[in-house]
Amino acid sequence: MAKTGQAQSFDVLIVGGGPVGLSLAIALARFVPGMTVGLLDRRQLAVPKDSRASAIAAGVRHLFEAIGVWDSMAEAANPIAEMKITDSGSDDISRPVFLDFFGPRSPSEPFAHMVPNTASAASLIAAAQDLVTIVEPGAVSTFSAGPARGEITLEDGRSLSAGLIVAADGGRSMLRGLAGIKTFSHDYRQSGLVTTIAHAQPHNDVAYEHFRPAGPFASLPLTGNRSSLVWTEKPETAQALVAMSPEDLAQRIEAAMGSVLGSVEIVETVQSFPLSLVLAHRLAAPRLALVGDAAHVIHPLAGQGLNLGLRDVAVLAEVLVDAVRLGEDLGSMAVLERYERRRRADTALMALATDGLNRLFSNDAAPVRAVRDFGLSLVDRIDPLKDVFMTQAAGASGAKLLRGIAL
């Protein structure tokens, strides 16, 4: 990794070394020869000790292919060929399927793959090492926007500047706050539990989303007879579940799933985290663009949080590459407003959809259940409408990179 002195200057500086920041850095370095791209994180870049996996939609897979990182993570990926959605009451034993999204977008392309976070991180970090200047780790202290460059200082006194600074520093973005960008936020008063389970029956590349009164419960297929589990519960219930023995918790998981995959075993550490909605009022300010969780944090029920951030990457990379070719100032508001206009609707619609679905299904009242189950059954019978939902979930339209077109 590149060591730095007391001052460093870049064309674009990306703050945040997660998958969103790494993907943007690689895309810009690959498609704009000669562009100086810096990447700064609070910690040394390393593959995280992370038991979670992420659903990678078809469009994001196209992006990964275009920037040259998909092949190295594909071996660990498992396709999602089908998704079954159920609606269960507190004491229901059976899990009738009300909605079934079946079949790939094309014979060779599932609408999503499950990829362990360790595999995606390893691939992205390896690619970035050869293309990007990895700045020695440091925490941001100040941000200022000048007429030609943005500048940040770090807590250790170093100064970094760039024509454009990109905040990819997470839901509690320091850069977003320093730029004075306000947010709308809502605490769901729910916790998400994540782990990996092994199970007796094969999943056959099927994902299950069980809507339960406390929140959704999803099992998502991994390689082998394993699935990634995302379980939404009330915070106090989540705390009690994490404290259980692995054997007792495995029994609770099997019961919650309706035994669709047979007996289960917990094979990774169970993690719990609070759930909230956070939306930035703006996605750009002078010399600054927000991407990923710095711009939006949504409910995980649709597994679209990371995909939403990587769609930011696809659009911002396209806008910046076009601006370079036109000789424009990358950090000008004229350029950044193009990015913001193209991302605002998608972000708002996904936030509204996940928020609305969570509110609708986290309700055990019999009349509400009857109406929503009727609606699910109706959608299940209308193939063109199901195709619309599948296409949206695949996210393979819009920006060039999401369609597999190089910039």
Predicted pLDDT at 259: 77
User: In this model, does residue 57 exceed pLDDT 50?
Assistant: yes
Torsion angles phi and psi, residue 144, rounded to 5: -140, 150
Sign of CA dihedral 179, 182, 186, 189: positive
The span from the CA of 117 to the CA of 123, in Å, is: 10
Please tell me the distance from the alpha carbon of residue 275 to that of residue 44, in angstroms, as a whole number. Answer: 27
Give residue-wise pLDDT tens across range 124-154: 999 999 999 999 999 999 999 999 999 999 9
Domain contains 225 = no
125 within a domain of the structure (yes/no): yes
pTM for the full predicted model: 0.91
Quick check: 68 and 30 in contact, CB under 8 A?
Answer: yes
pLDDT digits (tens, 9 = 90+) for 346-385: 999 888 888 877 776 665 555 555 555 555 555 445 454 4
Confidence of residue 211 (pLDDT cuts 50, 70, 90): confident
Count of structural domains, the chain: 1
By the 10 Å C-beta count (0-12 exposed, 13-18 middle, 19+ buried), 184 is classed as exposed
Q: Token pair for residue 148? A: 């030609």
pLDDT tens per residue across span 300-311? 877 789 999 999
> 50 lies in a domain?
yes
The whole-angstrom separation of Cα 231 and Cα 229 is 6
Beta strands 215-222; 284-285: pairing state? unpaired
The Cα 119–Cα 116 span in angstroms is 5
pLDDT tens for each residue of 69-120: 999 999 999 999 888 887 765 555 445 555 666 655 555 678 899 999 999 9
In a domain, 148, yes or no: yes
CATH number for the domain that contains residue 37: 3.50.50.60
378-394 tens-digit pLDDT: 544 545 445 555 566 66
Examine residue 193 and state whether it is found in any structural domain, yes or no.
no
Q: Classify residue 271: in a domain, yes or no.
A: no
Position 31: which residue type? F
DSSP state of 210: E
Q: What is the pLDDT of residue 94?
A: 47
CA distance 60 to 65: 9
Cα-only R_g, the chain: 22
User: Average pLDDT of 338-345?
Assistant: 96
Query: 356: domain range?
Result: 7-70+116-184+277-362
Residue 56 placed within a domain: yes
Position 134: which residue type? I
In a domain, 76, yes or no: no
Is residue 328 a contact partner of residue 254, using CB atoms and an 8 Å limit? Answer: no
SS3 content of the chain, % helix, strand, coil (to 5): 40, 30, 30
Alpha helices in 173-245 (DSSP H): 174-178, 235-243
CB 380 within 8 A of CB 390: no
pLDDT score of 371: 53
